[in-house]
């Protein structure tokens, strides 16, 4: 599981409580619909977003702005990654630079910096890539999870 990546190990240790989606809900995270690649090369999954963390621009290893789940059979959700987001940049976490997203964008947000950390599901395109070709939204419900 990205064991050769110290940041993934730290993220997993700090956020493993989110394996149970009810913990994310209890901490103020709410789902948005499953995000797939427009090019058809994978997905990010269902993001559970914490609006308070999204608006404060702080980067805290144990308080990611979004927690990402892959829809599984039977309506279950599997934790696959977290995402850190800030409008202040250039941004970095433990030396790993964030990606810049200009506005307008498909999320309806202003320009922002983001970092995905695939700490629970290995990503063949890299531990910090946006899309994971091994994640699918095929089992997502219309309600977003």
**pLDDT, tens digit, 9 for 90 and up, residues 22-46:** 999 999 999 999 999 888 789 999 9
Residue 78 lies in a domain: yes
Once rounded to an integer, what is the mean pLDDT over residues 106-122?
91
Q: Is the pLDDT of residue 2 over 50?
A: no
- Residue 63 in this model has a pLDDT that exceeds 70: yes
Q: Which domain holds residue 32?
A: 6-117
Best CA proximity match to 75, nearest among 134, 31, 28, 13: 31
Is residue 134 in a domain? no
What residue has token string 């990611």?
A: 64
pLDDT higher than 90, residue 3: no
Q: Is residue 111 part of a domain?
A: yes
Backbone angles phi, psi at 6, to 5 degrees: -60, -35
What value, to the nearest 5°, has the Cα angle with vertex 111 and ends 99 and 143?
A: 85
Q: Give a yes or no: residue 32 inside a domain.
A: yes
Is 144 inside a domain boundary? no
Give the pLDDT band (50/70/90) at residue 4.
low
Residue 128 in any domain: the answer is no
Q: Which residue has the higher pLDDT, 116 or 143?
A: 116
Q: Total structural domains in the chain?
A: 1
125 in a structural domain: no
């Amino acid at each position: 599981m990205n064991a050769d990546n110290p940041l993934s190990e730290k993220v997993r240790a700090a956020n493993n409580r989110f394996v149970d989606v009810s913990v994310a809900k209890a901490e103020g995270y709410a789902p948005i619909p499953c995000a797939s690649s427009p090019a058809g090369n994978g997905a990010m999954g269902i993001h559970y977003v914490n609006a308070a963390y999204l608006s404060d621009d702080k980067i805290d290893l144990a308080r990611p702005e979004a927690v990402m789940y892959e829809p599984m059979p039977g309506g279950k959700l599997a934790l696959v990654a977290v995402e850190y987001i800030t409008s202040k940049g250039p941004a970095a976490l433990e030396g790993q630079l964030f990606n810049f997203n200009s506005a307008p964008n498909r999320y309806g947000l202003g320009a922002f910096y983001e970092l995905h950390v695939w700490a629970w599901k290995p990503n063949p395109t890299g531990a910090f890539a946006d899309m994971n070709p091994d994640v699918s939204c095929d089992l997502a419900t219309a309600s977003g999870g």
